[in-house]
Structures are given as structure tokens and as C-alpha cells.
Structure 1
Amino acid sequence: MLRRLYSGSNLDRAQSLYDLRARAVKKLPNFCREYLEGGGDDELTLSRNRQSFNDILFRPRMLVDISQRDLSTQIFDQRIAMPLAIAPTGFNGLLSHEGDLKLALAAKKAGIPFIQSLVSTVSLERIAATGVRHWMQLYLFQNRENFKGVIERAKKAGCEALVLTVDTSVLGNRTWDRRNYRAPMQLNLRNLIHLATRPAWVWDILVPKGMPKFTNLGDSLPPNQASAKNAASFLTKEMDASLNWQDVRWLRENWQGKLILKGLLTSEDALQAKALGVDGIVISNHGGRQLDSAPSAIDVLPEIRQAVGQDFLLIVDGGLRRGSDLIKALCLGANLVLSGRATLYGLAAGGQAGADKALEIIQTEADRTLGLLGCTEINQLGKEYLL
């Protein structure tokens, strides 16, 4: 009998994130799958994000009492169940109805932070009301008044941290995604036909209230113009190509909570961020969707950790598919790892139950890997556990 990933609806039978991905691919229309899976240009960076993790080998120690193990850690003076957070990803309402809310509830249940994207399809106030540890991701707009409005809403909602994305001043060339459309946000005939083969998706997404809206851009868009098409046009026009370190300084002065920069890949930029009083950075190539041939986060993590020292929060983003990947990142100096596509596979496969399952798989695999390495706590991890 040939090996085959499980793609059925019984989530209990999913043995790995790859099973959840197989189920997601089976359920999603083609254009949604491409949006979820695609990268920039030739997708070299997208592939490298996985290959870099695969190339890391462990150096386990034996005859250690590993009967009691603990994955919990402390981030910003609060403990979380494991060193993982759900990454900010946009338009999750395409994968499951009110997908962002389901991800937030899954994160709360797992005891980890949820980073909400500005281009999510559930309002930040509703996410904050769940009681999840809530961080809000932002893009800097040319119109600073629009930007200030989102900051004020985040402040009133009690968001713990702002996560400013800095690697999208120029949008990447996502060719496979664009091939699905005959005009911006207008599906071509091939994809419209394929949509008819996914009735469950249609009834989950389109039938309740039509295409999801970018609710967090409501203050920035004209009245009744929060559709995907109008919001995409707005974002393209409003992305500020002049974004620079003075803007980071301004944001630091105007936001009293925790501030994180997402999208840095060099030690020089990490040191600059630290000097400006930023509380941490996300080492990220935007999931391989921006600059192709950029390094993976795990490639540059050791250099950045050495540059900034041990007292600065480093978060790794991109490529996580196994709990063992989380452990590898911790060995190389990360404090926290983000789950982007990994939890989206679960969301697309089975809504909140699927997201719960994805986080359960990651936690179980990470705990098992910790034990197999001969460790009982994650603060014991270091380069000595890698070849």
C-alpha cells in the first residue's frame, strides 16, 4: 500500500501539519490555495525557509531524567504555555468564516499570544474581547491620520504590543497568486469554474455575508467601501515607500506599550532597532512573499543574536512545520517562534477545531523533541544540542 497523507474530515486522525495541509488543499478553491501557499518570483526564499530547518541536525544527550518536561517560557514578564505565537496573516476570512476570531480563540486555549493582522477580517475590538494575549500588526500609511486612528483603537482595546511590518514598502511579485485574476480581485474563468467544485467553501464563506471585509480599515476607507477589491487598492496606494528609522522613532514616542518590528534580516538593522528602544524584532522574510533570494530567518538568527546580546527579544518567522523546528530555533537563540501557514492549514482544514489541532500537534512534537534531546526545560537549549 502506498503512503498517503490523511485528508479526511476527522481531525483526530491528522498525524501532522502535513495532514492538515492535505485537508486544507482538498477544501479550498484554487485561488485561496494559491494565496495561502504562494511566494514571490521563483519562490526560492519560500523553499529555503523549509530547507534551512531541514538542514539543521540535532546532537542529543542520553541518560538524562526527562520524566518531567516544561515548554513554558516568559515573554514580557508573563508566562506562556510554549514559545510560540500565531503570526499576523491577512484575509483569513477566506479560509474559514471569521477565521481571525477562530485563530484567536485557539491561541487563547493554547495559552499563547495572537498577533492580529491589520488586514484581518474581524475587528481588533472583537479579538481583544476574547481575552487572548493580543498583539496588533500594522503597516505605516502615507496618511498618518489613518495610522493614528488604528493606534488609538489598539490602545483602547488594551493591545499589549504593536508589531510594525517594515518589509512591504514595495510589494513583492507574487505571480502565482496574480494568475488567478483577470483584473484586480476579479477571478478568471478557470477559477470561477473551480469554485463550483468547492460547495462547502461557498456555504461557509460566501453564503453567510458574502466576501469578507477588511473591518480594521473601516476608518480609512470611504463609507461602504471595505470590500476586498477596494481595500486592496487602498493598501497599494497607501503603503509608504518613504518608511525609515525616523518613523520608528515617532512610533516609539507615540506608543507606550510594547513595540516590535517585523521583517528585519540583518544584525545592523537589529542593533538600530534596539538603540531606538524597540522591545523586540521579528526576523522574517515575510514568508517568502517579498524579496526572493532573501535568507531564511533561521539562517541569520545566530548572527543577530550575537550582535544584540541575550537581553533582547528575538522572534523567528517562516517555515515552521514541525514542533522540532521550534526547538531548533530556540537552540539557535530565538525567544519565540511564529506559526503562520502552519496554523492556517488547521484553520482551513477544520475551522477553530483545526487550528486547535495544529497547535496541539506543534506542542506535542516540541515536547517530544525536548525529551529526545535530553532536556527538561527550554532554557537548557543551546547550540551544544546542534551539530
Structure 2
Amino acid sequence: MVVRQMPKRSEIFELVSFKKPTVHRKTRRLQDAQTIEDLRRIAKRRTPRAAFDYTDGAAEAEVSIARARQAFRDIEFRPGILRGTDRVDTSCQIFGGPSALPFGIAPTGFTRLMQTEGEVAGAAAAAAAGIPFSLSTLGTTSIEDVRAAGPAGRHWFQLYVMRDREISYDLTRRAAAAGFDTLLFTVDTPVAGARLRDKRNGFSIPPQITARTVLNAAPRPWWWWDFLTTPPLEFGSLTSTGGTVGDLVDAAMDPTISFEDLKVVRELFPGKLVVKGVQTLADARTLVDLGVDGLVLSNHGGRQLDRAPVPFRLLPEVVRELGADTEVAIDTGITSGADIVAAIALGASFTLVGRAYLYGLMAGGREGVDRAIEILAEQIVRTMKLLGVAALAELTPDHVIPLA
């Protein structure tokens, strides 16, 4: 029989615990977000459809981005036990400098379109977290202002070779003068990919106010208030080059880009030269033979050639053949700290996150970016502890088994 008794008042009070309420609405919603997908849902609620879809979408049928995310899901972790991992070291060296975590913020264009703080929020958050921040040629904050936003941080510059080569060469010199230590020479955009969500939304840069945008903006007045009461949306590093925003987008894509352009930029930039957008082992080998300082395996987040190779799947082959000769980073499809740990285990030197950062930005500006970095960092630490490793160098392919 169960013996029952009347509870004592003191025992009841011991069980009652009231959480101190968070008054600030933005802080509360960001604290409630436990995953990058949670931040994505908040971002979708708070951002007009055209701007959100520009961030969230990919090329054509969006097969590449779906495959990239599925590739991370299609692995099985193999943990070690009884390893004693009370503390883990998540720091690493990448492209000649330190990073407190094995990921940095990828270059993204039109960033102030998503949320008005844009690259300033990203650079400041990255500097505070001790990770690199990458600025796009098509960024909406200038090279110099990004540097000022995170003066103690590491800054990388992503370069498009534009039709007017002198524009690209000038950007290269400015990045070097501002102390950017790494240049991401991007090779996967000879022409723009077909981003069908943007076409269906009637998306334009800068956004145009139409009947459709007014209806979509009605429940999101804060976004339009920010957009209309802050400086006009423009390419921060290209304001002196002339032409409209649309003209500059067209000029940024040049199908005649070649190895000769790589040679010229190498001579102009004194820091590390890393090629971003590598998608085959043969091209990776050619670039290593040419003496580049590193590679980023990337299909541009699935936004260029649909059905392009998945970087995470290409990674083991490239590392096996070339990992002793160069540093290999990857992006595309990363939505959690576990994805980052899996990539490091399979040989990646580093990873870059784009959408994950932008979801945080749209969800809450600088605080949202801080929260996105915090979520990924917590997931990395937890995954490493559960795998029984105390440092990134202890991760090996034995910890990850591809299931497909």
C-alpha cells in the first residue's frame, strides 16, 4: 500500500520556483530560441517575404541546398566513452590567425536589406566572439566601416572580379590598407544563378513599394520603419564607382574571369589568398599547385548552379588528396554546431556560416547575431563532450560515419 500524508507548507514552497520575467520583448524571444531553426522562424515572422526569401532561398528547384543539409543529417556520430572531457578547447588556427571557434561568418550581399544594422552587427558580434567576419564585395557597409565596427576582430574580404577590373583591384588595395588579413577570391559566379523565389516575389534591389509589398509589410511596420528612416540601401564599398545598384550587380558577374585574374590579385594582396567556390578535386589540385593559401569548398549556398557538388560530400576526397598541402574550409548547409563538428572530424580546417548568421540578424539585429553564435558554440561544446574529445585536433573521421 502507498502511505500518504498531508504535505507540509515548507515542502510545497521548496518545489515552487518562479523564473524572473524578462521584460524586454526582443531579449525574451531570442532567449527562447534554442536552435538556428528557431531563429529562422522568428526571422520569417519579422521580415517581409521578399527580403526573407532572398536570404532563405536558393537557385532553381533548390536541390543543391536541400542535398547539402541532408548530407549533414545523413551521418552517424561514433562517440568515445570514459575520456574525461570536463572542458573542451574549441579554438583553432586558420589562414594565419586564431579563431575562438571553428567557424566564421560567411560573406553575404545586401545585408542591410535583411535588417538595418547589417554588417556592423555581424562584424561587432564576430569580434566579440573571437571569430572572423567576412565582408562581401556586394556588402552594404564599407570596408572601412566594417573595420571600425570590430577593430579588434579578424576581417576577411570576399572579392568578385568585376567587368571593370580596376574596381576589383581598388577594393583589394582598400581591404589590405584596412587590415583585412584574408581575401576570399570567389570563382563560382560567372553569371547569376536563377533564384526563382526572387522572381516570383517581384524582388528588386533596392526594394520597390508596390501593392504587394504594402500588403506584406502591414504586419511588419518595424521593418519598413527601419528601412525608410536609415541611410539608403547601397553597396558600401562601391559608392564611388558610379552606376545604379542594378548596374553594379550586373557588373559583378563576369564569365571571363580566369587564372590570370587570380595572379594579378595575388600580387596586389599581401595577406592570405583563399579561393572560394571550389567544387571539384581537379580544380582544388590546380589551385594548390598555383600556391594559393587555402580553399573554401562551396557551391555558394546552393544559390548558383543547382545540383552542384555538395561541399560536405566533396570534403573527404579533397582532404585525403590535398589536406597535407593546404587548409580546406567549407560552407553550405550548416545549420547546427553538430554539423560543424562533423565537418572538422572529416578533415575541414574551418567552416563558414551564412544563413545561420542572417537568421539571427533578422530575428534581433546585433543581439540576434550574438544569439546565433552562442547557439552554435553551445552545440559545438556539447557535441564534443558527448563524443569524448577535449580539442578539435582530437576529432577524426572515426567519429563520423556517413550513412548515405
Please indicate, yes or no, whether the TM-score normalized by the shorter chain is above 0.5: yes
Contact 2:288 2:325 in 1 (8 A): no
- Structure 1 residue 212 corresponds to structure 2 residue 226: no
Structure 1 CA distance, aligned partners of 2:204 and 2:252? 20
User: SS where residue 191 of structure 2 aligns?
Assistant: coil
The CA deviation at 1:247 is 1.5
Residue identity opposite 1:156 in structure 2: A
Per-residue deviation, 1:238 = 4.5
Match of 2:211 among 189, 210, 224: 189
What is the match of residue 380 of structure 2? 366
How does 1:86-105 map onto structure 2 within 5 Å? 86-105=105-124
Does the CA-based 8 Å contact 2:160-2:252 persist in structure 1?
Answer: no
Q: Which amino acid aligns with 2:260?
A: Q
Structure 1 residue 355, shift from structure 2 partner: 0.3
Q: Deviations over 1:326-371 (max 9, x none)?
A: 0000011101010100011111000010100000010000000001
For 1:167-199, what per-residue CA distance to the aligned partner results, in whole angstroms no more than 9, with x for missing partners? 111110101111122877546532332122210
2: CA distance between counterparts of 1:270 and 1:212?
36
2:204 equivalent to 1:178: no
- State the partner residue of 2:301: 287
Q: Is the 8 A contact 1:162 1:259 kept in 2?
A: yes
Tell me how many residue pairs correspond in the alignment: 374
- AA aligned opposite 2:275: L
Equivalence map 1:1-387=2 (5 Å)? 10-129=29-148, 130-181=151-202, 186=208, 189-209=211-231, 211-222=232-243, 230-387=244-401
Alpha-carbon distance in structure 2 between the residues aligned to 1:45 and 1:54: 14
Distance 1:90 1:184, change over 3 A: closer
The RMSD of aligned alpha carbons is 1.8
CA spacing shift, 1:19–1:309, aligned 2, 3 Å? closer
Aligned amino acid, residue 190 of structure 1? R
**Do the aligned partners of 1:180 and 1:187 also contact (CA within 8 Å) in 2?**
no
Q: CA deviation at 1:49?
A: 1.3
- The answer (yes or no) to whether the contact 1:72–1:80 under 8 Å persists in 2 is yes
Please identify, of 237-246 and 167-176, the stretch whose mean Cα deviation from structure 2 is larger. 237-246
Structure 1, unmatched stretches of 5+, are 1-6, 223-229
Letter in 1 for 2:241: S
The alpha-carbon distance between structure 1 residues 317 and 370, as it changes in their structure 2 partners (threshold 3 A), is same
Deviation at 1:8, TM superposition (A): 8.9
Between structure 1 and structure 2, the one with the greater Rg is 2
CA contact (8 A) 1:221 1:231 kept: no
TM-score between the two structures when normalised by the length of structure 1 = 0.93
Report the Cα distance in structure 1 between the residues aligned to 2:101 and 2:259, rounded to whole angstroms: 32
Structure 2 Cα separation of the partners of residues 240 and 179 of structure 1:
25
Structure 2 runs not aligned, ≥5 long: 1-25
Q: Give the structure-2-normalised TM-score.
A: 0.89
- Partners of 1:372 and 1:350 in 2: how far apart? 31
Q: Is the contact between residue 85 and residue 339 of structure 1 (CA under 8 Å) also seen in structure 2?
A: yes
Q: In 2 relative to 1, CA 156–237 (structure 1 residues): closer, same or farther, beyond 3 Å?
A: closer
Residues 146-184 of structure 1: CA deviation (Å, up to 9, x unaligned):
112111211211110111111111110101111122877
Aligned-partner SS, 1:105:
helix
- Cα deviation code 1:36-78 (max 9, x no counterpart): 1111010000111110000011111111111121111112343
What secondary structure, in the 3-state scheme, does the structure 1 residue paired with 2:229 have?
helix
Q: 1:8 to 1:176 in 2, by over 3 A?
A: farther
CA contact (8 A) 1:252 1:277 kept: no
Identical amino acids, percent of aligned pairs: 40
